[in-house]
Structure 1
Amino acid sequence: MQAPKFAASRSFHKELKLRTTAYFTEAGKDTTGDSRLFAKAVILTVSFVALYLHLVFLTPPTWLALLECALLGLVGSAIGFNVMHDGAHGSFSKSKWVNQFASFTLNVLGGNSFMWNMKHNLIHHMYTNVDGVDDDLDAQPWLRLSSTQTRYRFHRFQHLYFWFFYALLFIAWIFFMDYQKYFKGKIGEMPLKKMTASDQGVFWGFKALHLFLFVALPIYSVGFVAWIVGFLVFTTVVGFTMSIVFQLAHTVEHAAFPIPHEITNKLEDEWAIHQIKTTANFATDSKVISWLVGGLNFQVEHHLFPNISHIHYPALNKIIRQACEEFGVEYNEYPKMRYAVASHVAHLREMGRA
């Protein structure tokens, strides 16, 4: 399908950019990360490497190894949320190569930064919650996330079994979904941008490195059985953690799922209003959650200004809320994470009904 078009008016987005620019100018701050983000990156990276080395080379007792594998998954997810995500959006640092270095943490963990840029930065951030374009909604046939998708009888139980498929996300991503996009040349129905020789080298080189670091070397060091158990614990923790954080942002009760006009292929709202209607925040008062998920609980702010580092989202939150009140735009936010989880489950239950 062709990518839809947004409404021509951009007055709301223009006003948001003016107010945001004024804030950074008056505060004398850069829009990228600062020492807080760099310190967090060091803490998370050192923790991940230490856990990996201890698991692979020092062979802890079984109970401790399983605990460390789960912790490795949580730390790996945090690196994805905090380091890779900001780096991929060019907001980690003012330096282009530092941003690229940060985004390449995804490649080491088994994903691919080129595919992520196409799927997440270019498609998801532009056409959020538009079924058939936003690949994040495509969990078919196992899950029905939008009312425009085909409903199967087993979907009436999806609010009970969703966690299983969320846990499988990461292992499916690194061993199947990236390769599917590569060989099909498409992300969903959207064509994949042509990969350069450098992109090809990064894709295959880091896939090989990941197989060595997370498959071959651990099997050689601790044996196949110990590796497969630990690897499954690690990947299921990463998969579930990443899935639930991103799903709470868009597939909840109050998020919109816009449908382009069948003739003009236009969406009802301008891009900025579309982002607010399709997105929800959660637990923005929790400093612990904000630190761990890299500000992805401030999804409204992130979708409106993806090139601004997440460390600035609490300040942007106040600016955007005020503008929404003045322009009559509904702002979606759940005060607690558990409320957002409950809303996501309720949404799945509703999508599973006839």
Structure 2
Amino acid sequence: MSIPKFAASRSFHAELKARINNYFAEAGKSTTGGTSLFVKAVLLTTTFVALYLHLVFLTPPTWVALAECALLGLIGSAIGFNVMHDGAHGSFSKSRWVNQFAAFTLNVLGGNSFMWNMKHNLIHHMYTNVDGVDDDIDAQPWLRLSSTQPRYKLHRFQHLYFWFFYALLFIAWIFFMDYQKYFKGKIGEMPIKKMTAKDQSVFWGFKALHLGLFVALPIYTTGFWAWLIGFIVFTTVVGFTMSIVFQLAHTVEHAAFPMPDEITHKLEDEWAIHQIRTTANFATDNKVISWLVGGLNFQVEHHLFPTISHVHYPALNKIIKQACAEFGVEYNEYPKMRYAVASHVAHLREMGRQ
């Protein structure tokens, strides 16, 4: 399909930017993460490395090893949410190389920062929930996430079996989807830009490093079956945690799935309103969840201002809500995480029965 265009009016977005800029000017704060984010990053990465070393070289008892593998998955997800995500958006630090270093944690964990930038930053953040463009809502044929997608008989039960596919996300991502994008030169139907020699070396070099750190070395030190069980626990925890957090942001009952006009290829709303209509927050008053998921429960704020660090989202939340109320723009937010999960399940059930 042709790349869609947004409505021309941008008065709402301009007003939002003015209010947010005024907030930072009056507060005298930087838009980046600051000391608190650096401390969190050090804590998470140190814990991850310590768990990895203990599992690989000290071979704890089975029940301890399984618990540590699950914890390793949770910490790995938290690094993705808090460190990699802010770094990839350039909001971790004022320093470009520090942002790149933070983003490169994804490469160590088995993903690829180049593919992530194309898929997430450039496509998903621009054309959120637009079927045929946003690859994040393309889980076909296993899941039907939008009413514009074909419906198969198995989708009638997708609200029951989606847990299994979410658990497989990470292992499919690092061992299949990145390579699929690389060799096809496309993310969905959207072509990716040409990779430089540096991009190529990073892609293959870190894929090899990941295989060495998370496959070859653990097999050598612990044995194949011990590695396999531990690796499955680790990757399924990462996969499910990442899936559920990102899905609660866009595939819930109150999120919109706009499609461009077939003739003009234009979307109904200006970009900022499109982001609000296609996105939802959850559990924004829960400081524990906010800390663990790197503010990704404030998805509306993140989609409107992705280059601002998540540590500022609680303050931005109040400003944006007020602007939405004044402009008559519906703001989607679930007060509890369980309500968002229930809404996601209801959305899957509805998509499976339409």
The equivalent residue for 1:227 is 227
Amino acid of the structure 1 residue aligned with 2:63: W
Q: Which amino acid in the other structure matches residue 284 of structure 1?
A: T
CA deviations 1:3-50 (Å, max 9, x no partner) are 100000000000000000000000000000111100000000000000
For residue 119 of structure 2, give the secondary structure of its aligned residue in structure 1: helix
C-alpha separation in 1, matches of 2:192 and 2:150? 25
Q: Which residue of 2 aligns with 1:205?
A: 205
**Partner SS for 2:74:** helix
Moved runs in structure 1, 4+ residues, more than 6 A? none
Aligned to 1:21: 21
2:48 paired with 1:48: yes
Deviations 1:196-222 (A, max 9, x none): 000000000000000000000000000
Corresponding residue SS for 1:97: helix
- Partner letter of residue 338 of structure 1? R
SS in 2 for 1:301: helix
Q: Distance in 1 between matches of 2:91 and 2:82?
A: 11
The residue aligned with 1:79 is: 79
Alignment of 1:40-189 (within 5 A): 40-189=40-189
Matches within 5 A, 1:199-348: 199-348=199-348
1:266-319 CA-partner distances (Å, limit 9, x unpaired):
000000000000000000000000000000000000000000000000000000
Distance 1:297 1:154 in 2: 30
Aligned partner of residue 94 in structure 1, secondary structure: coil
Q: Give 2:8's aligned residue.
A: 8
Q: 2:87 and 2:24 mapped to 1: Cα distance?
A: 20
The CA distance in 2 between the partners of 1:119 and 1:58, in whole Å, is 38
Following the alignment from structure 2 to structure 1, what is the Cα–Cα distance between the partners of residues 71 and 298?
24
Q: Distance in 1 between matches of 2:134 and 2:316?
A: 25
Deviations 1:234-268 (A, max 9, x none): 00000000000000000000000001001000000
State the TM-score, normalizing by the size of structure 1.
1.00
Equivalent-residue separation in structure 1 for 2:244 and 2:36 (angstroms): 25
> What is the RMSD of the two structures over their aligned residues, measured on CA atoms?
0.3
- Aligned residue pairs, count: 354
Offset, 1:74: 0.1
Percent identity over the alignment is: 87
Partner Cα separation in structure 2 for residue 193 and residue 137 of structure 1: 21
Per-residue deviation, 1:144: 0.2
**What letter is aligned with 1:339?**
Y
Q: Hey, what's the Cα distance between the residues in 2 that align with 1:321 and 1:154?
A: 39
Distance 1:39 1:22 in 2: 27
